[in-house]
Amino acid sequence: MESASDLVRVKLELFEGPLDLLLHLIRMQHIDIAAIPIAHITQQYLDTIRLMKELDLDIAGEYLVMAATLILIKSRMLLPPSSVLNEEESPESMKEELIRRLNEYQVFKEAGHHLEKLESDHSRFYPRPVGMTEEETHTQWVIDASLGDLLAALQDICRKHSDLPQHLVKPKPVSIRVRMAAIMQILVSRHTMVFRELFTDCSSRKDVIGTFLALLELIRLHQVTARQRTAFGDIRIVRVSQPGDPP
């Protein structure tokens, strides 16, 4: 897709751990933790891990351990009860232990978010972005989109572009840095754009992945931010005001 000199290695904290990823998937689909559909959530978890690998993002071994655990629970649920060696190895016991860990993690995560909110409330005021329509200004995009939200949005884009070729030879491949510049050029004039607009001109899956990596790098450099009106809602990319910008 690009020469070695154009490569941008994205180093970002995606999730705080496998429980964080699992909790994100559960919340995103409005699933009750106590009634996790193991088969469905296992597939969602594995799909996210594959996408993270395709993006060449670092995946700690603990994520793969959780994937193996979910697959084990799923497989044992398909076996007759008589084949389980002891009660601790039963799928029900393993699922109950997973639910217990998720509930404990959720308590600590929510407590952490509350403390973080108290600390940052004073900075959560934003000027009216230039270029937004009158209707858009009535409801502010005030929630920070997590990288989990961005990955979920990317999965949706990939599904919609599933008919695109996996590999497309181009005489002049576009680098991630060029994509970064193209995104910023749009945002300088418009200030904001809908997430899916980033991929309008993508002609291959590699283009989609490259554009997404360019977005992640811009977020890391604090050039843009991803915002939502509601949790797990549509994502809008907003340019971060820089020193020297006109008032």
For every residue of 186-235, DSSP letters joined together read HHHHHSEEEGGGGGTT--SHHHHHHHHHHHHHHHHTTSEEEEESSTT--E
Longest dimension (CA), the chain: 72
Q: Is the pLDDT of residue 160 over 50?
A: yes
Q: How much is the average pLDDT of 179-198? A: 89
Q: What is the pLDDT of residues 100-134, one digit of tens each?
A: 999 998 888 887 766 666 655 545 555 444 444 44
| Cβ-contact 206, 167 below 8 angstroms | yes
Specify the higher pLDDT residue, 161 or 180: 180
pTM of the model: 0.67
Which of 1.10.10.580, 1.10.3720.10, 3.90.1170.40, 2.40.10.10 would CATH assign to domain 129-247?
Answer: 1.10.10.580
pLDDT above 60: residue 56: yes
Q: What is the C-alpha end-to-end distance of the chain, expressed in Å?
A: 39
pLDDT: which is higher, 200 or 244? 200
Residue 174 scores a pLDDT above 60: no
**Binning pLDDT at 50, 70 and 90, where does residue 246 land?**
low
Give ranges for CATH 1.10.10.580 in the chain.
Answer: 129-247
Tokens of 232: 């797990």
Q: What are phi and psi of 231, to 5 degrees?
A: -60, 135
User: What's the one-letter identity of residue 113?
Assistant: H
Residue 125 CA, distance from chain mean position: 24
